[in-house]
Amino acid sequence: MQDSVALDGKVAIVTGAGSRGEGVGNGRATAILLARRGARVLLVDIEPGWMEATARAIAAEGGEHATCVADVSDGSQCRAAVGAAVARWGRLDILVNNVGISGPPGNAVEVDPEAWDRAMRINVSSVMLMSKHAIPEMRKAGGGAIVNLSSVAGLLAGHPGLLYATTKGAIVQMTRAMAAHHGPEGIRVNCVAPGYVYTPMVAVRGLDEAGREARRQATLLKTEGTAWDVAEAIAWLVSPAARWITGITLPVDAGTSAGSTRLVSPKPI
């Protein structure tokens, strides 16, 4: 019986495929897992050094990959990244839009407008720009799968940063709209919304053990998530096993979004 989650012969792009240091963030875990399941993966990140450990891990397991340094908030660099994947492997089947930053802090009164505009372009426009150039190649391949990364902060109230919550909510609605636009072309578009996941991006903000324990207790399962939990959801959504699923937002949050109407802790997600 054919493995319904295998990705043999597929070509994937994962943006934000690096991680700070040797830790494993969502992009690194996703790229490794897609390669492990047979996909040829183009790693995209703005910092070449962040991709090195991802590339080494894929190579150590015999996977096929290439790297591309690109700022995905820039349309011309998005076009070049898609072109690099197609030039190397002749097609594109999968896009994972993983790039995101916490952005400027504060509510509507406090937030810096210029920093707001920059972060909106990184968190929201990058999804549109990468998809803009990826979708025509997916059409040529007869279909494809896109997964956009949001957050439970885009589903629940209570996040201390207006920018972050707004951008993550925008990604949820963009996913629905893209799914409606491109479903007839055989292109599935879904969203994953991680909850209290401990990643290098969270670690660099100085979250201490007490903060981590508070986040664990805020989940229904009383556990802390890892990037591998997020990657498993993404890998399933882009696989043949999810062939009849499009337009959804899948919370990967140990029940956080089911158990509350708002975030119970103002810690960053």
- Whether 12 contacts 40, CB under 8 Å: yes
Catalytic hit among 89, 116, 164, 236: 164
Instruction: Establish whether 196 is a catalytic residue.
Output: no
Query: What CA–CA distances, in Å, run from 17 to 24, 113, 120?
Result: 10, 28, 20
CA angle 193, 215, 174 (to 5 degrees): 15
Rounded Cα gap, residues 70 and 251, in angstroms:
28
Which residue, 88, 83, 89, 82, is CA-closest to 10?
A: 89
Amino acid at 140: K
- Whether 6 contacts 236, CB under 8 Å: no
Rounded Cα gap, residues 117 and 234, in angstroms:
28
Question: Within 13 A of 264's CA, how many CA atoms are on the CB side?
Answer: 16
DSSP assignment, residue 86? Answer: H
Which residue, 235, 262, 266, is CA-closest to 250?
A: 235
Question: Which residues are marked as active site?
Answer: 164
